[in-house]
Amino acid sequence: MDIKINLADGVPLYRQIVNQVRYMVASGVLEAGEELPPIRTLALQLKVTPNTIVKAYGELEAAGVVRKRHGSGTFVSDAGPSRLATRERRRIIEERIDALLAEARHLGISLDELFKSIQRRHALLAENTPADKASGEE
């Protein structure tokens, strides 16, 4: 599992792991039923304490993203993979929206201006995207 720990973020290490696993589930990199690495293995890989992984897996389990099976390991929840992914996708994009709204407030940009700005950027990006890809969006 490709997880990157960044100390400079000021985000607790267990939360960095939680966020990246959630992202991998949302984007389909991790599929329903797939097994996550054992605690010791991931701790050795990331150079963090095993308790940090325990905390991360615990949080993922509480959120319904993974499920622990007795005596075996930790697996991506298979309670409807598409539903889980949809929920995660929405959660991730809403986090970004919150940050955008906070920034806009600081810069004194109204919600109306922000909407227009998003549409303008979208149009600009669509123009620069090859036609075959853009048509797939319709």
Rule CB under 8 A: is residue 101 a binding residue for other proteins? no
Q: Which is nearer to other proteins, 10 or 136 (CB)?
A: 10
Diameter of the chain measured on Cα atoms? 55
Residue 130, helix vs strand vs coil: coil
Between CA 130 and CA 134 the distance in angstroms is 6
Q: Which of 37, 50, 58, 81 binds other proteins (CB under 8 A)?
A: 50
Cα-based torsion angle of the residue sequence 19, 76, 57, 63 in order, rounded to the nearest 10 degrees: 70
Which of 1, 3, 32, 43 is close enough to bind other proteins by CB under 8 A? 43
Selected binder of other proteins within 1, 5, 32, 63 (CB under 8 A): 5
* Residues, the chain: 138
Helix, strand, coil percentages, rounded to 5, for the chain? 65, 5, 30
Structure tokens at 29: 């990199």
Considering only residues 58 through 97, tell me which ones interact with other proteins, judged by CB under 8 A. Answer: none
1 contacts other proteins (rule: CB under 8 A): no
**Residue 57 found at the interface with other proteins (CB under 8 A):** no
- Binding residues for other proteins, rule: CB under 8 A, are 5, 7-14, 39-40, 43-44, 47-52, 55, 106
